[in-house]
Amino acid sequence: MRAKAQLGGGLKRIETQHQKGKLTARERIELLLDPGSFNEYDTFVEHQCTDFGMDKNKVIGDGVVTGHGTINGRRIFTFSQDFTAFGGSLSKMHAQKICKIMDKAMLVGAPVVGLNDSGGARIQEGVDSLAGYADIFQKNVLSSGVVPQISLIMGPCAGGAVYSPALTDFTFMVRDTSYLFVTGPDVVKAVCNEDVTQEELGGANTHTVISGVAHAAFENDIEAIQRLRDFMDFLPLSNREQAPTRHSDDPTDRADPSLNHIIPVDSSKAYDMREIITRLIDDGYFFEIMPDYAKNIVIGFARMGGKTVSIIGNQPLVSSGVLDINSSVKAARFVRFCDAFNIPIITLVDVPGFLPGTAQEHNGIIRHGAKLLYAYAEATVPKITIITRKAYGGAYDVMSSKHLRGDFANPIPAAQRGYIDDIILPAATRKRIIEDLAVLTHKQLPLIYKKHDNCPL
C-alpha cells in the first residue's frame, strides 16, 4: 500500500505529467527538502465522497502530499499537490491534510511552503470542497505574520484556489507551466468576448510584469525549487525568531573605494541602484523580489555580516526612481513582511518625488502612496537609511525618514541633505551599516495595544 501511495494517480498519469516538463508532487518534495528529512503526514488518507460513483474512484493520499522536513537543517512544513490524482483537485480530505500541517507549523513556529498544482475544486464534492478552501483561507490569515507562508505555483491554479497563494507572503511561479487566474479563457470569452490564451491571462510573465501578483518566476521545476531553497535561507522560521545569520567570508569592514564615484554628481544622470546594493551586501548576493514589476523601486533580501536584511532602493535608472502607485504598493507590502518577521530594513534613497498627473491621481496615488508611508511608520525593526543623492518633497518623508522612527539616516557626500545624523564616506558604507545593525540588534519599541491597525488598503 505504501508503494502504491508513492505512485499517486498511477504510472500513466506520471508519464503525462513528465511529458509536460512537470515533476510529480513527491519528486518536488524530494528536491525541496534535505535528503532523507521528509516526514509525511496522512499518507493513506482517501476522500469520503460517495456521489457520482466516486466511492469506486479513490487515490491513496487524495491528491496532496503533506509533511515536514528541513532545508539546510532548518524545519519547514510543506504540502505538494498531486496533479496525477484527480488533477490535484481539492476535496474535503485534501483540504484537511493541508490545514493539519498549517496548524502544526503555527504550533512549532515553522514556515509553510505550498507547491500548488491543482485543477481547482473537486467538483463531485460540491460545497464540501468550497468549505475546504475557506478553511485554508482562514488558516492563511491566522498564520499571517506568525510564520512565513510561501506559495510556488507549479501548474494550474484557478478560481477560488488563487486566493490561498494571494494570502500568503510570497508567490513564485514556474514559467510556461503555471497559471493563476480567477476565471479561465473560456469564461473570459463567454462573458467579455475576449480572446486570450492561458499564458496571456495568467502566465508567469503576466503576473511578474503586469499584475504584480507573483514575486518572481523561474525557468523550470528544478530551478524553481532550488531557488526556493535559497530563498528560505533568508527567512526566520517564525515571528518569534530573529532574522537568521549564516556564516559569511565577506569581511564586515570591506571598504569599497569605487562607491566614492559610481553615483554621478549630476542629479539628472542615472545609475543602477542594484550596482550600489550588490557592492554593499555580503558576496554581492541579492535575492530580488518582483524584479520585473514597478522597476522604479528595487526590493529584495540580502545578508550583511551574515545576517538577513531587506533592501529597498529607489531606482534612478527607471523613471528617475519616482514613486508611483505600483512602486508604493510593491515596497509597502515588503516593508510589512520584514517588520512582521524581524528583518532589518535598509533603505537607499534617491527619489525625486511622487509621480504627478491625472493617471496617478485618478487611480489613487494618495491612497496607495499612504500604504508605503504607513508601512514605514508602523515598522519597529531596525531601519537604516542611506540617502545616496536626493530626497525631495513628500517622498523624502515616506522613504524611511528620521521622522518615521528611522534609526540612522546617513547621506553620502553627493546627497542633498535633510535631517541627518552623519555624513559617511561612501567607501565605508558597508562597515557603517553593519556596525549600526549591531547597535540595533536588541532594539525594542513598545507596541500600543490595538485589536489591529487600519492600514490603508
- Nearest 5°: the CA angle 107, 113, 118 is 120
Choose, by CB under 8 A, the member of 4, 6, 21, 356 that binds other proteins: 21
Choose, by CB under 8 A, the member of 82, 125, 169, 221 that binds other proteins: 221
Choose, by CB under 8 A, the member of 160, 212, 291, 306 that binds other proteins: 306
> What 3-state class would DSSP assign to 110?
coil
CA diameter of the chain: 75
Angstrom distance (rounded) from CA 373 to CA 335 = 10
Does residue 30 bind other proteins (CB under 8 A)?
A: yes
Which residue type does 247 have?
A: H
Q: How far is CA 30 from the centre of its chain?
A: 22
Catalytic option among 10, 284, 394, 438: 394
In angstroms, give the least distance from the CB of 455 to other proteins: 30
- Nearest 5°: the CA angle 290, 291, 293 is 65
Environment class of residue 194 by beta-carbon count within 10 Å: exposed (0-12), middle (13-18) or buried (19+)?
Answer: exposed
Angstrom distance (rounded) from CA 18 to CA 7 = 13
The one segment of 139-147, 249-257, 373-381, 410-418 that binds other proteins by CB under 8 A: 249-257
Does residue 73 bind other proteins (CB under 8 A)?
A: yes
CB 67 within 8 A of CB 36: no
Catalytic option among 294, 395, 414, 428: 395
Choose, by CB under 8 A, the member of 16, 43, 96, 220 that binds other proteins: 220
The one segment of 42-50, 189-197, 234-242, 381-389 that binds other proteins by CB under 8 A: 234-242
Interaction pattern, residues 341-380, with other proteins; x per rule: CB under 8 A = ----------------------------------------
**Cross-strand partners of 115:** 80, 152
155 is catalytic: no
Site for other proteins in 143-172 (CB under 8 A): none
Angstrom distance (rounded) from CA 75 to CA 90 = 26
Nearer to other proteins, 144 or 248 (CB): 248
CA distances (Å), 4 to each of 8, 42, 43, 403, in order?
Answer: 7, 14, 10, 62
Angstrom distance (rounded) from CA 302 to CA 311 = 7
Does residue 135 bind other proteins (CB under 8 A)?
A: no
The one segment of 233-241, 326-334, 335-343, 413-421 that binds other proteins by CB under 8 A: 233-241
Which residue type does 137 have?
A: F
Nearer to other proteins, 169 or 221 (CB): 221
Does residue 292 bind other proteins (CB under 8 A)?
A: no
Nearer to other proteins, 240 or 417 (CB): 240
Q: State the DSSP string of 341-396.
A: TT--EEEEEEE--BPPSHHHHHTTHHHHHHHHHHHHHH--S-EEEEEEEEE-HHHH
CB 386 within 8 A of CB 410: yes
Catalytic option among 159, 202, 321, 369: 159
Q: Which residues are tagged catalytic?
A: 159-160, 394-395
- Write out the residues near other proteins by the rule CB under 8 A: 18, 20-23, 27, 30-31, 34-35, 37, 70, 72-75, 175-176, 218-223, 226-227, 233, 237, 241-242, 244-250, 256-262, 275, 278-279, 282-285, 306
